[in-house]
Chain A
Amino acid sequence: WCLPLSSVFVTFPGDILKNVTDEELADRYLKRFGYMEELQRSGIQFQGSSSKALMKMQRQMGLEETGLLDKPTMAAMKHPRCGVPDVRS
């Protein structure tokens, strides 16, 4: 009921935060904060490679360790935070 009746999404000029899919956002997040190393990802489909990384992230954030891109995990990824990686190589 709180959604507008007819939603239209426009691309706002200069908006750094572009509309991205959940998978893209998660991919970027896991990489940026050290959960998924770049080499590990190359050539591998997101679903397979990231499940472990997701669980690691979920453990760090105190979320249920499902290994899936569920709602609480996506909400945590969109939450404002410190830019220092959580996991170091």
Chain B
Amino acid sequence: YQTFTGDLKWDHHDVTYRILNYSPDMEESLIDDAFARAFKVWSDVTPLTFTRLYDGTADIMISFGRADHGDPYPFDGKDGLLAHAYPPGEGVQGDAHFDDDEYWTLGTGPVVKTRYGNAEGALCHFPFVFEGKSYSSCTSEGRTDNLPWCATTADYDNDKKYGFCPSELLYTFGGNANGAECVFPFIFLGETYNGCTTEGRNDGYRWCATTNDFDMDKKYGFCPSRDTAVIGGNSEGEPCSFPFVFLGKKYYSCTSEGRGDGKLWCATTNDYDQDKKWGFCPDRGYSLFLVAAHEFGHALGLDHSNIQDALMFPMYSYVEKFSLHKDDIEGIQYLYGPKPGPNPTPPQSTPDPSKQPDTPATTAPTTTTPAPIDPSKDACKVDKFDTITEIDGDLHFFKDGQYWRMSNKGLQGPFFLSERWPALPAVVDAAFQDQLNKKMYFFSGTRFWVYTGQSLLGPRGIDKLGLPKSVSRVEGVLHKGKDKVLLFSGENYWRLVVKDQMVDKMAVTNVVFGGVPSDVTDVFLYKRNMYFVRERFYWRMNVNKQVDRVGYVKYDLLQC
């Protein structure tokens, strides 16, 4: 690893950041989440904390821009340079800039979050089948209003789950119109426009008026990119027009003809030869998370590494399961030191006293030998808990017949489930405490138990709560007011009226919590925040329904 000359670094550990604008390529919540996760890469291994500011000057100001974007280092169109960042300091120092001529995704192709429809904001599922035909992008087939839509499951014909795709006909972002949709035609400087335009701007962003007369109302917003929109070229944001004519020949799909770099392109009108309108076809895109994590490394004081697998290596490569390289950890810890708190200790065999030397050691030990730990009794060694829930104000972590309690005294346990709640099976999928009468509800498979102190009701089938027979288990629970809870299973949840022990008839819906994964394996409420858990990670949503933290269960909640 390398640091910048003079070991430039922040002189404080509570670093702030602010997102100044967004890319049209992804929904804002997905961009927020990518940045939050990228910061977490560094806060996991240092004493640094990162707080997001919504106005004013932050240490790290994050922005998207194209070509000349206000500093002496212009970007270069699609591919090539992806982003850059400045080492710590005042002014532009510490800031991170992302080239918006890139196609920003999570690294594996379009990430299309839907709005409206009946899928409650789920992501599009590509490909999906509609009327027997397979679609790999949003379509306006089947509609007369031209709105692009997609299915959020593989088979619309069976599941009928759909939502609308990003489109200027549905909403805008940024600007001053609170996200209102474009109004076409609109008038700008006396001219009439029937679509989004880059006229009047020098940054290449497409915009529209949200009333029919911009000259009079001055209301505008930026147009979100459609998933089928081309990137770069001279028609940014327009969809490909198939078939199109190029050098007299008809093309029915993207082509690399005419280019020496092998990049796929298409025309955005039906005749390239005549109109010369074109752009690059959408591809897998670049992972905003990975690029941001790299740039934030610069913003914290790391220069480029020459270790190819290190995050701070200058070239981009996509990795599915990211973990910070030893070289990056050593680099950042050289600047800021390690994260405070005990390190995880490997299990060790119990020393046999008979084999200990009976002569005293000649030098005093510099470290204390950790007490042997039985992995089955160490919560820090558990990769994934069966469920986590708050009981009497303390978090309880359940795993295979045991549970741990995290209180202000620290982590205690493991305790045996059978000692406190003897009727329960070893694996508990979900649990919650009724806030009114402190009864404990436990779910395992298709059964549930209710404990009032030591008296037991159950087990009973979860279908008795009004859950459909198709529900094979309840995976998580969120309190909704004092007398209702939401029971989560898969991507659905139901609202249970606790005193009636019955779910509302019409209250089944898909997960509508923005910014959290749809495939969470546990959900719980703790100190008024909602936690959505997937494997080792959690997404914390505050009372304003904003995801304000993404973290590790092990390090943050268990304080391992």
Known: A62-B306, A80-B315. A14 touches B234 (CB 8 A): yes
**Contact pick for B258, options A9, A60, A83, A88, CB 8 Å:** A9
Find out whether the CB atom of B265 lies under 8 angstroms from the CB atom of A17.
no
**Contact pick for B314, options A4, A10, A19, A86, CB 8 Å:** A86
**Contact pick for B83, options A8, A62, A76, A82, CB 8 Å:** A82
**Contact pick for A82, options B232, B308, B314, CB 8 Å:** B314
Q: Which of A65-89 contact B (CB under 8 A)?
A: 76, 78-84, 86, 88
A45 to chain B minimum Cβ distance, whole angstroms, is 25
Find out whether the CB atom of A83 lies under 8 angstroms from the CB atom of B79.
no
Whether A48 sits at the interface, judged by CB under 8 Å, is: no
Find out whether the CB atom of B286 lies under 8 angstroms from the CB atom of A82.
no
Alpha-carbon gap, A76 to B316, bound state (A): 11
Whether B500 sits at the interface, judged by CB under 8 Å, is: no
Find out whether the CB atom of A10 lies under 8 angstroms from the CB atom of B258.
yes
Find out whether the CB atom of B76 lies under 8 angstroms from the CB atom of A16.
yes
Find out whether the CB atom of B233 lies under 8 angstroms from the CB atom of A15.
yes
**Contact pick for A17, options B4, B73, B76, B294, CB 8 Å:** B76
**Contact pick for A13, options B101, B234, B294, CB 8 Å:** B234
Whether B385 sits at the interface, judged by CB under 8 Å, is: no
Complex contacts, A80 vs chain B, CB 8 Å? 79-82, 102, 286, 315-316
B184 to chain A minimum Cβ distance, whole angstroms, is 24
Q: Which of A11-50 contact B (CB under 8 A)?
A: 12-17, 19, 33
Complex contacts, B343 vs chain A, CB 8 Å? none
Find out whether the CB atom of A82 lies under 8 angstroms from the CB atom of B294.
yes
A34 to chain B minimum Cβ distance, whole angstroms, is 10
Known: A13-B276, A17-B76, A79-B315. A84 touches B265 (CB 8 A): no
**Contact pick for B81, options A61, A62, A76, A82, CB 8 Å:** A82
Whether B499 sits at the interface, judged by CB under 8 Å, is: no
Residue of A60, A78, A79, A82 with highest tally of chain B CB at under 10 A: A82
Q: How large is the interface on A (under 10, 10 to 19, 20 to 34, 35 or more residues)?
A: 20 to 34
Whether B540 sits at the interface, judged by CB under 8 Å, is: no
Find out whether the CB atom of A12 lies under 8 angstroms from the CB atom of B258.
yes
Whether B53 sits at the interface, judged by CB under 8 Å, is: no
A67 to chain B minimum Cβ distance, whole angstroms, is 17
Alpha-carbon gap, A72 to B308, bound state (A): 15
Known: A12-B259, A13-B276, A16-B67. A86 touches B304 (CB 8 A): yes
Interface string of B64-84 (1 = CB under 8 A from A): 000100000101111111111
Find out whether the CB atom of A82 lies under 8 angstroms from the CB atom of B304.
yes
Known: A12-B265, A15-B77, A88-B5. A60 touches B84 (CB 8 A): no
Find out whether the CB atom of A82 lies under 8 angstroms from the CB atom of B234.
no
A24 to chain B minimum Cβ distance, whole angstroms, is 13
Complex contacts, A82 vs chain B, CB 8 Å? 81-84, 291, 294-295, 298, 304, 314-316
Find out whether the CB atom of A17 lies under 8 angstroms from the CB atom of B81.
no
Chain A, Cβ-Cβ closest to B291: A82
Find out whether the CB atom of A81 lies under 8 angstroms from the CB atom of B257.
no
Complex contacts, B258 vs chain A, CB 8 Å? 8-10, 12
Find out whether the CB atom of B304 lies under 8 angstroms from the CB atom of A84.
yes
Alpha-carbon gap, A41 to B286, bound state (A): 34
B238 to chain A minimum Cβ distance, whole angstroms, is 12
Alpha-carbon gap, A4 to B232, bound state (A): 24
Chain A, Cβ-Cβ closest to B66: A16
Whether B61 sits at the interface, judged by CB under 8 Å, is: no
Whether B261 sits at the interface, judged by CB under 8 Å, is: yes
Find out whether the CB atom of B85 lies under 8 angstroms from the CB atom of A17.
no
Alpha-carbon gap, A58 to B234, bound state (A): 35
Complex contacts, B286 vs chain A, CB 8 Å? 80
Find out whether the CB atom of A8 lies under 8 angstroms from the CB atom of B257.
yes
Complex contacts, A13 vs chain B, CB 8 Å? 234, 276, 278
Complex contacts, B77 vs chain A, CB 8 Å? 15-17
Known: A12-B258, A80-B316. A17 touches B80 (CB 8 A): yes
Chain A, Cβ-Cβ closest to B102: A80
12 additional contacts, CB 8 Å, given A4-B256, A10-B259, A88-B303? Answer: A9-B259, A12-B233, A14-B234, A15-B77, A61-B308, A81-B80, A82-B82, A82-B315, A83-B83, A83-B99, A84-B84, A88-B4
For this complex, 14 residue pairs linking A to B, each with C-beta atoms less than 8 Å apart, are A9-B258, A13-B278, A16-B67, A16-B78, A17-B77, A60-B304, A62-B306, A62-B308, A78-B261, A80-B79, A82-B314, A82-B315, A82-B316, A83-B82
Q: Which 7 A-B pairs have the closest CB atoms?
A: A16-B77, A14-B234, A83-B84, A83-B81, A10-B258, A80-B316, A81-B315
